Structure 1
Amino acid sequence: MRRRTLAASLGAAAVAAAAVPTAAQAKTSGTCEDAYTWRNAIVNGGGWVPGIVFNETEADLIYARTDIGGLYRWQEATQTWKPLLDWIGGDRWGWTGIVSVATDPVEPNRVYAAAGTYTNDWDPTDGAVLYSDDYGETWGAAELPFKQGGNMPGRGMGERLAVDPADNAVVYLGAPNGNGLWRSVDHGRNWAEVTAFPNPGNFVITPGDAYNGDNQGVVWIEFDQTGGIYVGVADPDDPLYVSTDRGRTWQPVPGAAAALGSADGNRTIPKRAAFDHENGHLFIVTSWNPGPYNGPPPSGRGGSIQRLSPATGEWTDVTPTYDPVGTIPGFGGLTVDRRRPGTLMAATENHWYPDEVIFRSTDSGATWQTAWDYVWDEDYSWPPQRTDRFTLDPTGNEWLTWGKADDGPAYAIKHGWMMDAVSIDPHDSDRIMWIGGTIWGTEDLTAWDAQGPLVGWDDAAGRQVALPVEPFEAGVRVHGIEETAVQDIAALGGTLVSAMGDLAGFVQTDLDRPGAMIRHPNWTSGRALDFAGLDPDVIVGTGDVEGDVDGHVGVSLDRGATWLTTTRLEGVAGGGNAGTVAVSADGAVIVWSPGNGSTAPVLSTDLGQTWTPVEGLPAGALVRSDRVDPARLYAFAAGAFYASADGGSSFTATSAANLPAEGPVEFRAVPGKRGHLWLTGGKTGAVYGMWRSTDGGRTWRRVPDFQEADAVGFGKARSRYGYPAIYTSAKAGGQRGIWRSTDEGRTWQRINDDAHQWGWTGKSITGDPEVYGRVYIATNGRGLIYGDIAH
């Protein structure tokens, strides 16, 4: 294909490109006779968006990359985001972590995504660069010989992918872990290391640590309109390189180490960069840690904003001299206004209290204004008042309060935290989007410049006063992005309850609205759910908790409308010790198995106010209840199956054999069928699959259809007196998918297709007890998916 330059393409129609064949276009066998439609149970957001990238040539073409939930494209007509990577299946689930995205400024139909979730052994597959010629509708994949870290530290830096505007067949990729700088000369189809590039980086947060121990590597690429290619490296002693001969040779930029590699004695690295081409300035923000979880720096300020004039080689420190909070912990986001040369914005990262600070300059960093400020009284007493340039409208996402109320200057709804993504629309100076607990945005940004100072001095009163400003409004711009990691699901018929990583969980009676977030008990992440089979108004759940007050277990007696907290069990600290929980069929008994690995399961008959030890179960056992018989509860641990006939007071190991002894295992009891159980799980290379029992777990029969199975659940039967429909996330005939049986497991059909796979779906699955064919699927980053038979 003929190569084009940016200059030749501005204002012209993009060259059409043939779609790249992908798995999403392949046909599969075992297709269900019932076609399905797929949607999300709406939460609106829920995860972290480390990058928001506007195309410089085509208006309204915007991409958002997520750390575990794939890539999205903005749809201007509906003001929503469209998911683009749902075709990624369970065997390549790591490709749902996107460490960078590049949209081609020459042929805007082309887009690239650097995929891979972890650089350690948590992700079994190497990374890839995904490429599309049709705005992400179809994709090809160039597999790489190394891993990438879409959910690793430093994922908000970048962008690590960049298209050369002088020759858009050339695409660069900055790699982690000493793998250097890579380049493709054929629109991302093939890649090779740029061996002339001299520095692969050396910055490691915590050497030897499984998560914080990787070398951050080469972190961003920017192009100067005069032909220079600038590359930022995570190396405080040698952080910036330039090539002026199309990438054949590279030289360190003089003065870069002094400007970018230290901040008040703290070693810092260049996190993001942006060119103001009209003024010939390269702006760079630095931080002493790559993020997103920076704590306070060891001493002094933790980052700076530097301005380089490539034509002269002059460096200027343009770091704001005033920050209402005090010492700047480091910077995350950076953006320039392409239509207003000299205008740029930057954001602090992890100013946890009371809020992040967004800075704006209209004079190339010579002076700055803040998005909010303190107003102190004459005695400088605490807390001060706060005044803001804009208000935040959370309509439709009221859960963004996290169940809290404003507390002086600490608003319940914050401007943000971990603010690595801040982007002004290159086609519209009034539009900006940024990440801060959700995606916020406004189309009135330039109203900022007419407001003037936020705070003045009253000589007569001898104190500060808030000056009158007319605040503009910012609102939620995250609709369509569903990035929750769903841990468990309880479908009660008309009510859907979810447990979610980082968001506690939700109770929804309308799948098109987020519903109520579970905030009491104070779960940071919800982990497990159960309900009473004979009285589904009774729900129990477990979650990771903060503080020393709430117990890990929560109880609802009104189908999730309100929740009771339980007593903290002695010896089980807060944090990630939620474990699993079961409630007897009549709702009278709760059995909780803590997740700390050392505390044996306990029982409560007073809604968790007191706990007594359970006899016969090891620590960490997975517990479930029979859906019909209140006296029967069940458990599994290390290949052994246990049953209780006395309401959970004591358990006895059954004679079950040949069940998985390694890997995660799940089992569920069948609604309306006493003693009927289905079990899934195991480990590749060991015992792995699906089993069923009709005698309360004494004996088990393997279901031969599946080589691997990870989750199982039940929904309304096809006929009035039929066996409940069975749903599973499993692998049959080498094909992973969502499978359904309507005849008690005698036959199975795959109900999803290759375009709808959503990465990893093995955590939890269930049908709806009142809607035949409806299935709810827990994903690890694409939210709570549900499918209905198409009519």
Structure 2
Amino acid sequence: GMSEPYTWKSVVTGAGGGFVPGIIFNQTEPNLIYARTDIGGAYRWNQATSSWVSISDSVGWVDWNKNGVDALATDPIDPNKVYMATGTYTNHWDNNGQIMRSNDRGNTWQTTPLPFKVGGNMPGRSAGERLVIDPNKNNILYFGARSGNGLWKSIDSGVTWSKVTSFPNVGTYIQNPTLDYGNDLVGLSWITFDKSTGTLGNATQTIYVGVADTASSVYRSTDGGVTWTALAGQPTGFLPHHGELSSTGDLYITYSNGVGPYDGSKGEVWKYNKTSGAWTNISPTTGTDNWYGFGGLALDAQHPNTLMVSSLNAWWPDEVIFRSTNGGATWSRIWDWGNYPERTYKFSMDITAAPWLDHGTTSTSLDPSPKLGWMMGDLEIDPFNSNRMMYGTGATIYGSNNLTSWDTGGKVNISVMAKGVEETAVLGLISPPTGTSHLITALGDVSGFRHEDLSVAPTKFQTSPSWATTMSIDYAELSPSYMVRVGSADKEKTPSMKSIGISNDGGVNWYMPNSEPSNGTKTTVGHGQVAVSASGNSILWSTSDIGVYYSKTSGNSWTASAGLPAGAKIASDRVNPNKYYGFYAGTFYVSVDGGATFTATGASGFPTNNVAGLQPNEAQISMKAVPGIEGDIWFAGGNTVENKYGLWHSTNSGASFTKLTNVEEADLIGYGKAAPGQTYMSLYTVAKIDGVRGVFRSDDVGATWVRINDDAHQYAKINMAITGDPRIYGRVYLGTNGRGTLYADPV
């Protein structure tokens, strides 16, 4: 197949936008730092630019689960070596995981398949690290598995792996036995070496392992992993999140009664002295103050009695970081209660790198904005610089460069340290033909953004409504400043909040209409898909729960559409303001009365599966009409199960479709400015063409295609969203599941 060189760049949000469960500092080379994410791969720190570089962009369509990183290890003997345990879910529908190894700091990878699954996006993912390299003999690695698979060992630098059959406890804790997502054994949580029990070239003899078990959770080997025993006198009732051995001979452990990242209502911090065998409860909270677990644990390599721990889901009013300079005998809080409800702060927050982190809300003492964090399962102090700290949250990486000011009465300056990390899940993209913004996004968890400059952090959608996830967004083709987006309002928190927002100024300001679709007994919870008529005179909303509704009053009243099944995919004609299209279970529908009634067109040959999910074998349906030509529609999607998978084209409002013979599989379709000398818009698709999965462009109505990405820029299973730019020929915007939004231009 033909290809054309493109330059791929991230659309900047400035903050990541997702959970960072682990940050790993190399112990022998300064400024060699890695961050791992749960669905967006891993990143390496670039000290010169104070930013992160993705080391996972070569992950492709088939091996998408490599972007779930459950553990990462950087080699202290050969810093060029880095390893990852990858695999996203332990659920039945994911594939087995793998150990990945690199000799060039993550630029290129080799892979060893594992005979079991790895859970980069499963409960307990911020515990760790589960994958470790012997600090004295770096051909030896250990990996603590989930799902009852126990402890594994490699003696050939990660190429082959075998089970350590003498390890006695595969873990007993299950977060939620009733959920397909949470009914799996969390397994082993962390592994820590006592480096002093080996010498360079000779294997470390003493190894500690933490297990997700409330009865007996900490094990030790003193013979290089041959035999194992539970440490005597250890605390029970809690699960160990992190365990780290100080050069003082104290093993520090953070405990919680949940594995995180969302749970944990009680916790403790302990230290174990390896010489005396004594356990000491050094918890910074006791009694009624102890209503959350402990997650992050940071030891200061320069000052072995200095350590920090973070609350794991204190939630209200904010998380807490505790610091001790005397081995946990006494602690200082990063904030404390003053004269209630006021608080006193030992820190300041700087979010200028990503102003949207305050979610547009006014900060109060009891509801701070931005928050210090949440889901703070990992907290690290730079082993070479006592002033540098980093920690992961549910939305970004925060850090400080003046940490020791804490000890001298000054304020710790905390700022966003996530430059280059782009971790959002993209659910919709629009590129309107006019206005100040070439790109507007609909995102999971962080709602979405209007981008005026793709290289600068955006502002969040301004004004109401506000909700976490925006599922769908559209604009009126002939009146592009009119936009509509749908999400799911938190009615418990804000009863008046609507799950739909409308803008009249290109997405700068938004307002809520007066009503939402209701079937008489139930008002929609929202989500689903929205389509706007060509002129903006009507809105069509295929809700997630009560069917398809239309409004000809800009959302102030809604009526059920007749003839279109609940859950249908929808699209508006981009010329005729009265025409909409629908698709469900193999049948194509058209409306010529603004969405009031739909009739089946009789077009055939489509896949019958209509699920727009991300699991294997499910159909991704992408259906859009072409601007400027009434009745011109492209339809992408399908599945391998039915052997109906590809790209279809209609020029008669869906009365009939022609399946392209030169496209084997297709999942998305988008349009951009026509090529020079052409009148028909360029097509963009995520597809399989000539046996190759990739991103493709056609300038000749689909007759020929050129691949516009390459094997180094694959971004995993990219079946989320795509659009061209109607104002810039060749420009494509691509949405990913955990790697943010990319934009690309011809070289």
Q: Does 1:665 align with 2:621?
A: yes
Q: Report what 1:438 is aligned to.
A: 396
What's the CA shift string for 1:493-536, capped at 9, x where partnerless?
Answer: 44311000001110111101232212621221011111111111
Partner residue, 1:543: 487
Whether the aligned pair in 2 keeps the contact of 1:594 and 1:601 (CA below 8 Å) is yes
Distance between the aligned counterparts of 1:680 and 1:200, measured in 2? 45
List aligned pairs for 1:606-755, cutoff 5 A. Answer: 606-662=553-609, 663-686=619-642, 687-755=644-712
2:301 to 329, 338, 354: 338
Trace 1:97-246 onto structure 2 (pairs within 5 A): 97-123=68-94, 125-224=95-194, 225-226=196-197, 227-246=205-224
CA distance, structure 2, for counterparts of residue 106 and residue 533 of structure 1:
59
Provide the rounded CA distance (Å) in 1 between the counterparts of 2:414 and 2:213. Answer: 37
Distance 1:432 1:694, change over 3 A: same
User: Take 1:646 and 1:313, find their aligned partners in 2: how far apart are those partners?
Assistant: 79
Aligned residue number for residue 67 of structure 1 = 38
Which residue is equivalent to 1:54?
25
**Aligned partner letter, 2:142:** Y
Measure, in 1, the Cα distance between the counterparts of 2:429 and 2:407.
48
In the alignment, is residue 505 of structure 1 matched against residue 445 of structure 2? Answer: no
| SS, match of residue 565 in structure 1 | coil
Q: TM-score, normalised by structure 2?
A: 0.94
TM-score, length-scaled by structure 1: 0.89
Q: Secondary structure at the match of 1:554?
A: strand
For the pair 1:421 / 2:378, whether they are aligned, the reply is: yes
- Correspondent of 2:260 among 288, 291, 294: 291
Do residues 514 (structure 1) and 483 (structure 2) align? no
CA contact (8 A) 1:551 1:569 kept: no
Picking from 216, 225, 249, the partner of 2:227 is 249
Counterpart amino acid of residue 259 in structure 2: P
Per-residue CA distance 1:454-489 (angstroms, 9 max, x = gap): xxxxxxxxxxxxxxxx42311110000000000010
Distance in 1 separating the partners of 2:498 and 2:604:
35
Partner of 1:407: 364
C-alpha contact 1:546 1:574 (8 A) present in aligned 2: no
Displacement of 1:680 after TM fit?
A: 1.1
| Residue 280 in structure 1 maps to residue 249 in structure 2 | yes
- The whole-number CA distance in structure 2 between the counterparts of 1:600 and 1:210 is 26
Tell me the residue number matched to 1:82.
53
Q: Do the aligned partners of 2:524 and 2:543 also contact (CA within 8 Å) in 1?
A: no
* Higher mean C-alpha displacement, 573-582 vs 245-254: 573-582
Letter paired with 1:735: V
**Which residue type is aligned with residue 41 of structure 1?**
V
Q: Per the alignment, do residues 48 and 338 of structure 1 end up closer, same or farther by CA in structure 2, a change over 3 Å counting? A: same
SS in structure 2 opposite 1:403?
A: coil
- The yes-or-no answer on 1:315 pairing with 2:279 is yes
Deviation digits for residues 731-787 of structure 1, max 9, x if unmatched?
Answer: 123321001111000011111000000001112111000100000001001100111
How far has the Cα of 1:31 moved from its partner?
Answer: 4.0
TM alignment of 1:330-479, pairs within 5 A: 330-376=293-339, 383-436=340-393, 437-451=395-409, 470-479=410-419
Measure, in 2, the Cα distance between the counterparts of 1:326 and 1:755.
50
| Aligned partners of 1:545 and 1:576 also within 8 Å | yes
Secondary structure at 2:63 match in 1? helix
CA positional deviation for 1:721: 4.4
CA contact (8 A) 2:256 2:294 kept: yes
Secondary structure of the structure 2 residue equivalent to 1:147: coil
For residues 15-51 of structure 1, give each alpha carbon's deviation from its aligned partner in whole angstroms, at most 9, with x where no partner exists.
xxxxxxxxxxxxxxx242x310000111121011000
Q: Does the CA contact (< 8 Å) of 2:684 and 2:698 recur in 1?
A: yes
What letter is aligned with 1:360? R
Q: Greater CA deviation, 567-576 or 237-246? A: 567-576
Question: Does structure 2 conserve the Cα–Cα contact (< 8 Å) formed by 1:522 and 1:546?
Answer: no
Q: What are the residue-to-residue correspondences of 1:26-37 with 2, within 5 Å?
A: 30-32=1-3, 34-37=4-7
**CA separation of 1:232 and 1:574: change in aligned 2, threshold 3 A:** farther
Aligned counterparts of 1:164 and 1:416: Cα–Cα separation in 2: 32
Is 2:213 the partner of 1:270? no
Q: Deviations for 1:396-422, whole angstroms, at most 9, x for unmatched residues?
A: 211001121112332111111110110
The offset of 1:332, in angstroms, is 0.9
- Aligned to 1:304, the other structure's residue is in SS state strand
Give the counterpart letter for 1:723 in structure 2: Y
Contact 2:672 2:727 in 1 (8 A): yes
3-state SS in 1 of match to 2:223: coil
Instruction: Supply the distance in 1 between the matched residues of 2:84 and 2:620 (Cα, whole angstroms).
Output: 31
Aligned to 2:425: 485
CA–CA distance in structure 2, aligned partners of residues 732 and 41 of structure 1: 27
Residue type of the alignment partner of 2:488: D
Q: Deviations over 1:168-219 (max 9, x none)?
A: 1001111000001011111111111111112111110121421111101011
3-state SS of the aligned residue for 2:391? strand
Change (3 A) 1:702 1:527: same
Counterpart of 1:540 in 2: which secondary structure?
Answer: strand
Partner of 2:616: none
Q: Can you give the 5+ residue segments of structure 2 that lack an aligned partner in the other structure? A: 198-204, 610-618
Matched, 1:759 2:730: no
Displacement of 1:552: 1.7
Look up the equivalent residue of 1:675 and give its one-letter code. G
Aligned residue pairs total: 718
Match for 2:419: what amino acid?
H
Which residue in the other structure is 1:303 paired with?
267
Letter of the 2:252 counterpart: F
Pick which of 181-190 and 490-499 moved more: 490-499
- Residue 529 in 1 paired to residue 473 in 2? yes
Q: CA deviation at 1:576?
A: 6.4
Q: Which residue of 1 aligns with 2:548?
A: 601
Deviation string 1:673-722 (CA, Å, 9 cap, x unpaired) is 11111111112221221111111111011112222211110000002542
| SS of the residue 2:509 aligns to | coil
Residue among 544, 559, 563 paired with 2:506: 559
Would you say the 8 A contact 1:546–1:575 is kept in 2?
A: no
Residue 612 of structure 2 corresponds to which residue in structure 1?
Answer: none
In 2, Cα distance between the equivalents of 1:162 and 1:318?
26
Question: Judging changes above 3 Å, is the alpha-carbon distance between structure 1 residues 163 and 109 closer, same or farther for their aligned structure 2 residues?
Answer: same
Tell me how far apart the structure 1 counterparts of residues 401 and 442 of structure 2 sit (CA, whole Å). Answer: 35
Matched, 1:578 2:527: yes
Counterpart in 2 of 1:461?
A: none
Q: Secondary structure at the match of 1:183?
A: strand
Match of 1:104, as an amino acid?
Answer: D
Distance change in 2, residues 1:709/1:573 (3 Å): farther
Q: Does the 8 A contact of 1:545 with 1:575 survive in 2?
A: no
- Matches of 1:789 and 1:641, distance apart in 2: 35
Q: Distance in 2 between matches of 1:128 and 1:397?
A: 34
Change (3 A) 1:112 1:287: same
Query: How far off is 1:603 after superposition?
Result: 1.1
Distance 1:336 1:576, change over 3 A: farther
* Percent of aligned pairs sharing the same letter: 44
> 1: CA distance between counterparts of 2:431 and 2:295?
40
